[in-house]
Amino acid sequence: MDFSYTPKEEAFRKEVRDWLDVHMKELPNWWRNPEVMGPEIDSDEYHQFSLWWHKKLYAAGFVGIAWPKEYGGRGATLLEQVVYNEEMAKARAPGPANGLGIGWAGPTIMAYGSEEQKKRFLPKILSAEEHWCQGFSEPEAGSDLANVQTRAVDAGDHYVVNGQKVWTTGGHYSDWAILLVRTDPNAPKHRGLTYLLLDMHSPGVTVRPLRQITGHAEFNEVFLDSVKILKSLQIGETNRGWHIAVGTLAFERSALATTVQRENTFQDLIKVARQVKRHGRPVIEDPLVRQRLAQFHIDIQVLKYTGLRSLTGQLRGDRPGPETLVVNLFGTELNLRMQEFAMEIQGPYSRLMRGSDYAIDNGSWQFSFLSARGTAIASGTLEIKRNVIAERGLGLPRSNR
Ligand SMILES: Cc1cc2nc3c(=O)[nH]c(=O)nc-3n(C[C@H](O)[C@H](O)[C@H](O)COP(=O)(O)OP(=O)(O)OC[C@H]3O[C@@H](n4cnc5c(N)ncnc54)[C@H](O)[C@@H]3O)c2cc1C
């Protein structure tokens, strides 16, 4: 494996760093200082902040780095995208808005959509003029996604769609959704599904927010009541939507994998261990605490080098495969362990939420501890990821699903 970067990639790294040096100063105080309380992440104020920052990134050519220029991207290499991700995470800069569009819907349309669909949708995903969400899960179709029951009936040049989706992140401010529907109820369940693009402003679409464990309402139930979807909004062939949905999930799982964020959490953990005292001494002086911290450091190195193996595969032109899932699984579990450890060393302070005068780092650990549970479920639970690694990575017999 070659760990070095070319002069062109290093020049791009400098460009990103120089840009961040100037623009990080423009971020509000609450972003840069954990002691200062910012707006709730599900508030309109936060959404507007996210759009404001997105526009700056977009104007600088930092959204869709590896996307082709003809669809509004920068036309740079995958490695330049990696360099960019690293620098943004190191600087702890906010990411772009429209994460689902850029990370999931866009790559799917690029891989499986028609030329007309690519031209119509991709530029507006990058500029965040159109926000996207993902309408896959249903009350009876989560891990068993092929069990989708939302029904689309052929009506000539369009489908009539009835059903319900759930856990639709950002559905309340989205303009479009990637939607998995059943077009053939008589076929074996993986073979009767079709992949559609839904205009969320269509008549018959009702969005109801759901409140999660953190107290925020970022997810929704989406009800579809005789919604008309033109066939020109279908991705791929009729009844062949399953393999496209699997493609979307692979993009989703690879987009979630990141080492630098774990490294940031680790550095924050060291600060807390220095700050919190037990029996009058900082907990970082406790040998057992030091051992646990050392193990986190080792795990981050394991994550980093396995991530580089996965990247090597992608540079060869492979689609994200099982090794990407290993990185995602290990990185998610590592984050859960670090978040739990942060609660452990805070002792009684771990009970103090955002808004309490005595909460450490303004209660941000309590928030990240609770929201980390969600990352162990989103894009497939840890158990499902283990099944996929076993079947596709190790060639073990299929589980009884
Ligand atoms: C933060 C977050 C964001 C999300 N965003 C979206 C979104 O934008 N759009 C969307 O469509 N969905 C979204 N989801 C939904 C997510 O994809 C599902 O929650 C997930 O696939 C699990 O499905 P479920 O909740 O129905 O749980 P279930 O499938 O009912 O699983 C319940 C438990 O059974 C276990 N289990 C089930 N089957 C097996 C098996 N075969 N082997 C071993 N164990 C098994 C699971 O691991 C889990 O522990 C989101 C979820 C979260 C937490």
pLDDT for 95-148, tens place per residue?
999 999 999 999 999 999 999 999 999 999 999 999 999 999 999 999 999 999
pLDDT band with cut points at 50, 70 and 90 for residue 35: confident
pLDDT value at 256 more than 50: no
Could you tell me if residue 126 is left (phi over 0), alpha (psi between -120 and 50 degrees) or otherwise beta? alpha
Fold adopted by 131-240: Butyryl-CoA Dehydrogenase, subunit A; domain 2 (2.40.110)
User: How far is 243 from 236, CA to CA, in rounded Å?
Assistant: 10
106 in helix, strand or coil? helix
CATH code, 255-393: 1.20.140.10
pLDDT band with cut points at 50, 70 and 90 for residue 353: confident
Domain boundaries, the chain: 7-97, 131-240, 255-393
Q: What is the mean pLDDT of the chain?
A: 92
Test site for ligand 1: of 196, 328, 377, most ligand atoms within 8 A of the Cβ: 377
312 and 237 in contact (C-beta within 8 Å)? no
Question: How far is CA 211 from each of CA 18, 165, 168, 220, rounded to the nearest angstrom?
Answer: 40, 16, 12, 8
CB of 170 sitting under 6 A from ligand 1:
no
Fold adopted by 7-97: Butyryl-Coa Dehydrogenase, subunit A; domain 1 (1.10.540)
pLDDT band with cut points at 50, 70 and 90 for residue 1: low
Torsion of CA 162, 168, 170, 174, to 10 degrees: -20
Whether 255-393 and 131-240 are alike in CATH topology: the answer is no
User: How far is 159 from 199, CA to CA, in rounded Å?
Assistant: 13
User: How far is 156 from 138, CA to CA, in rounded Å?
Assistant: 26
Question: Ligand 1: which atom is nearest the Cα of residue 401?
Answer: 41
236 and 248 in contact (C-beta within 8 Å)? no
**Cα 141 to averaged position of ligand 1 atoms, centre (Å):** 8
Residue reference for tokens 């066939």: 231
Residue reference for tokens 């961040």: 20
Q: What pTM was computed for the model?
A: 0.93
Mean pLDDT on 230-257: 84
263 annotated active-site: no
Mean pLDDT on 50-54: 97
**Cα 47 to averaged position of ligand 1 atoms, centre (Å):** 26
